[in-house]
Amino acid sequence: MREERFDVVVIGAGPAGSRTAALTAAAGLSTLLLEKRERVGFPVRCAEAVGPRRDIERFLPLDDDLVSSPIDGFALVSPAGERFAARMPGIGFVVDREAFDRRLAGAAVKAGAVLRTSHQATGLLHTDGRVAGAEVTDLATVERYRVTAAVTVGADGVECHSPRWAGLKGSYRPAEVMSCAQRLVEGIDVGERMIEFHLGGSVAPGGYAWVFPKGPSSANAGLGINPLRAGGIRAIDYLERFLSRQCPGASRERLVVGGTIVARGLPRLATGGYLAVGEAANQNNPFSGGGIVNALEGADLAAGTIVEALAGGGPTARALSRYTDRWNRTTGRANKRFWRAAQFFYGLGDDAMERVIGRMRRTPGLIGESGVDPLRLLLALARSDPRLVFRLAAGILKR
Amino acid sequence: MDIGNSAPRAGIDVDRGACIACGACSAVCPAEALVIVGLTLEVFPERCRPCGLAALVCPTGALRCPGPEPSERIL
Ligand SMILES: Cc1cc2nc3c(=O)[nH]c(=O)nc-3n(C[C@H](O)[C@H](O)[C@H](O)COP(=O)(O)OP(=O)(O)OC[C@H]3O[C@@H](n4cnc5c(N)ncnc54)[C@H](O)[C@@H]3O)c2cc1C
Ligand code: SF4
């Protein structure tokens, strides 16, 4: 079998892989970026919402052609249809995810990485108990070849075969994968450019439905459910029901389906010669399922650790474990809290959720500079519903 | 694959018209019997255990996975 040699081979050209490849290539490491799809970023499997400009511009300029719509606030809609809304201009953007992913991959190529689309990693190479590269299939010619590399980066997204090949994890349980469906809907009023979250067991059991402004009169409207709470009903059926109620007149265009991993977080993100980044590393926010910016953050930490290890004593399990530590000290720590919050929140049941949102509507000054002030919310809830707050506290204090 | 072995159970079944190759099932299948190759879901039935889990997360209902035989159930 033909063999090639690189310093770094990256599996998957989503945000996590492209960003990692851009940084390792910029540091002078020969980098191969593999993408099994024919076209980077296509098809899109995303609701395309990201945070404020400063969050994104740490990684790439948020040029106008990447932005579909600004987000000027958010609204929560209770199971009974009560609405809590907060206007917050600048809170985020709905992006053109395909253009976004292509821009990131372009940056990797500009930095010197070699990008190969329609090339799929089909396994890892191992030498002396360490990962030593990947086995690859060129899907166009069906040729198989080997790529040896000092470091292999698994950025293969939700399918996440490579972390399993590396022995970092097993498969996920069904409740750890949000089952999602979404349509681009045309002909609806998004005048206020708020992102909406709809809650309730009949709307999206164990998850939520969303409406994100996409254009002057269009939106990404979708939902994610916990498949174990769905009573055998599929995400696309919940979606059709939601759209019929929410925007009966709108036309239903492009269908997006997918899974997003909302599990607790991996104990280890790296082993000798290998590290996982982005959704493959379970770096999504386990409360929202969102993961674009988390993937970019993971990529920066991963690339920094790779460059350091290759300049020092080599990519041993120990050297690369610094990446896990760095992640756990930063976004990984926040994700642990989000995970606990998710266990609590999505387990509330419709009545309790109704009370929470009702209380939010009646509490003045709940919105601070950076969103809902959690302390004020807690105090307000404690007044109306001490048992709920006790459950919340017990959930958060639990290890 | 030994066909006789799996005959009593219905195998993994994918409705090709409904599958969008989103990969959600790949994350759950413990046997790596479901792999997205390029933009198509490929099934490796000989790897199936079978556990019935992956079909639960499929957003479109395109996937049918055989569940374990009653005698093999752990619970
Ligand atoms: C319906 C839905 C809505 C979402 N909405 C949002 C949102 O609004 N905001 C947000 O922040 N996040 C959202 N997410 C989550 C977000 O899409 C992911 O967190 C993000 O894509 C993770 O980036 P990544 O680079 O880790 O993986 P991906 O973007 O999935 O990239 C992985 C890449 O690897 C490729 N690949 C996989 N296996 C191989 C292989 N063996 N060889 C070669 N290439 C391979 C894939 O083809 C893919 O291109 C949503 C997810 C879903 C499903
Ligand atoms: S989860 Fe369903 S739609 Fe997605 S790849 Fe698997 S069978 Fe196809």
Range of the domain at A219: 67-95+174-261
> Residue A396: what pLDDT?
56
The bound ligand whose nearest atom lies closest to the alpha carbon of B24 is: 2
Residues A282 and A155 in one domain: yes
Residues A247 and A214 in one domain: yes
- Number of helical H runs and strand E runs in chain B: 3, 4
A160-174: average pLDDT = 96
Tokens at A179, concatenated: 């089952």
> Residue A77: what pLDDT?
96
A74-91: average pLDDT = 93
Instruction: Determine the Cα–Cα distance for residues A33 and A104; give it in Å rounded to an integer.
Output: 12
Residue A397: which pLDDT band, with cuts at 50, 70 and 90?
Answer: low
The answer as to whether A36 is a domain residue is yes
Q: What is the ipTM of this complex?
A: 0.92
> Residue A107: what pLDDT?
98
Phi, psi values for residue A71, rounded to 5°: -115, 125
Q: What angle do CA A226, B42, A271 make, to 5 degrees?
A: 70
Q: Is any Cβ of chain A less than 8 angstroms from the Cβ of B19? A: no
Three-state DSSP class for residue A201: coil
Residue showing tokens 């600004």: A70
Position A94 pLDDT exceeds 90: yes
Q: Which of the 8 DSSP states describes residue A66?
A: G
Position A381 pLDDT exceeds 70: yes
Report the nearest-CA residue for atom 2 of ligand 2. B58
Q: What would the pLDDT profile of A197-211 be if each residue is shown by its tens digit?
A: 999 999 999 999 999
CATH code 3.20.20.150 for B13-65: no
Q: Is any Cβ of chain A less than 8 angstroms from the Cβ of B30? A: yes
Residues A26 and A162 in one domain: yes
With CA atoms as reference, report the closest residue to A131 among A33, A11, A36. Answer: A11
Q: Which of A293, A308, A329 is the last residue of a domain?
A: A329
Q: Is any Cβ of chain B less than 8 angstroms from the Cβ of A45? A: yes
Q: How many CB atoms lie within 10 A of CB A355?
A: 16
Residues A153 and A196 in one domain: no
Phi, psi values for residue A311, rounded to 5°: -80, -20
A328-343: average pLDDT = 94
pTM metric for this prediction? 0.94
How many domains are contained in chain A?
Answer: 3
> Residue A365: what pLDDT?
82
Nearest to A157 among B23, B37, B53 (CB): B23
Cβ within 8 Å of B, A 289-318? none
Residues A88 and A183 in one domain: yes
Report whether the peptide linkage leading into residue A248 is cis, meaning its omega lies within 30 degrees of zero: no
Q: What is the mean pLDDT of chain A?
A: 94
Q: In this complex, do A258 and B26 lie within 8 Å of one another by their Cβ atoms?
A: no
Instruction: Determine the Cα–Cα distance for residues A135 and A148; give it in Å rounded to an integer.
Output: 9
The answer as to whether A61 is a domain residue is no
> Residue B1: what pLDDT?
34
> Residue A370: what pLDDT?
67
> Residue A117: what pLDDT?
98
**Which residue stretches of chain B have pLDDT < 70?**
1-10, 69-75
Q: What would the pLDDT profile of B62-75 be if each residue is shown by its tens digit?
A: 999 988 755 544 43
CA dihedral A74, A78, A81, A83 (to 10 degrees): -30
How far, in Å, are A43, A199, A215, A315 from residue A96 at the CA level? 12, 26, 11, 36
More reliable by pLDDT, A101 or A191: A101
Q: What would the pLDDT profile of A111-129 be if each residue is shown by its tens digit?
A: 999 999 999 999 999 999 9
> Residue A359: what pLDDT?
87
